[in-house]
Amino acid sequence: MMSAVTIKRYDQLNADQWRRVAVTAKRHVKRITGQSSEIGIGQKYTAGRPTGRQLAIRVYLPQKCRRVAKTKRVPAHFEIRLKRSDGKFDRLRIRSDVESLGDYVPTGADVKLDDRTATTGFLLRWKTDDGEVRWGLATVAHLFDQTRLRIVSVRMNPTVTLRCRRLKTPPKREHLDLAVLEIVGDREEIEDKLRRCGLIESIDPPAIPLMSVRQVHRAVMGHRRGRTYPPDGDHAFTGEEVFPDGFQLGSRILDDCVRVGRCDVDTFCQGTSGSAWSISNQAACLQVGGKETDFREGIGQPFDLCLKWIRSSINAPVNVVAVW
């Protein structure tokens, strides 16, 4: 029997290989514990802190029990057979860690919708087929899960509020937590408000480049520093973990999510979903959730993934022109 190769670094495998590792690990966990799970790739945690630099397959179970029969325990290491392009197999050895999925929740200035709030941090601009300019904002879809209301108000600062209509929300099968709001009203008045907020200097601002999904994942696994921009001011974070085969948050399974942490208490608290994240000073993610014990950890989805869906749905070259 061939000896197992111990995987210690994220760059030892490519994105597709990590996805297949996650799929296989889910299958093993289901067979051992009888529970469905989500799989992340990151450092092992002890007493709430990362331990060492070696990677772990982090298993998120719906319920993490303190006492588990030996036959039902997730093993300390996974040994996974990974098929190569030549048809042969590599045997990989990766240590494990177990977390509770129930600790992570959707966390939907403020978008005001009845008694629910979320944040918006991406300003969008596009042109219709007849050349008319449209302005929009991006926030999270879970804000609208319990309502049919389409008109919302967005408080940009203490003196400026924008009236918006919900324009597009992807179906859950798209695995995105995204809602596109179109700013409604007289275009000149809208542009004047955006100038007063400091979001634009001209009516035709340049597009802001976004990190690709691959760049986001590599930056997070390199533990790069970043910042989140909720209404109460920006906060620093550190990249911690990627989810190669999706992550269940509330009623949605979301593609390509990442987890960040090492933050102040309540950095990712309720009402901050929809915040923009930057990593290494480049626009990167839309916040979709947080860990509700103290909200020091956040879940984000690469906005480049969201922007591709927006462009396809609106059928126009939509650009991000401000991030705050």
- Does the pLDDT at position 256 exceed 90? yes
Given a contact cutoff of 8 angstroms between Cβ atoms, the answer to whether 248 and 224 are in contact is no
Summarised one tens digit per residue, pLDDT across range 18-57 is 999 999 999 999 999 999 999 999 999 887 788 877 899 9
Cα separations (Å) of 284 from 17, 58, 204?
Answer: 23, 23, 22
- Does the pLDDT at position 294 exceed 80? yes
**Which pLDDT value is given to residue 109?**
42
**Which pLDDT value is given to residue 154?**
87
Bridge-based pairing of strands 5-6 and 89-100 is parallel
**CATH tag, 213-304:** 2.40.10.10
**Which pLDDT value is given to residue 153?**
86
Can you tell me the mean pLDDT for 297-304?
98
Is the four-CA dihedral 142, 143, 148, 153 of positive or negative sign? negative
H-run or E-run covering 196: helix 187-196
Percent of the chain with pLDDT over 90: 74
**Which pLDDT value is given to residue 282?**
97
Given a contact cutoff of 8 angstroms between Cβ atoms, the answer to whether 292 and 104 are in contact is yes
- Range with lowest mean pLDDT among 153-157, 254-258, 275-279, 303-307: 153-157
Summarised one tens digit per residue, pLDDT across range 146-204 is 888 888 888 888 888 899 999 999 999 999 999 999 999 999 999 999 999 999 999 99
**Which pLDDT value is given to residue 147?**
82
Summarised one tens digit per residue, pLDDT across range 77-124 is 999 999 888 888 899 999 999 999 988 999 874 566 655 666 899 999
Can you tell me the mean pLDDT for 212-224?
97
**Which pLDDT value is given to residue 124?**
98
Counting runs of H as helices and runs of E as strands, what totals does the chain give? Answer: 4, 22
**Which pLDDT value is given to residue 114?**
59
Domain extent listing, the chain: 5-102, 109-208+306-323, 213-304
Given a contact cutoff of 8 angstroms between Cβ atoms, the answer to whether 19 and 40 are in contact is no
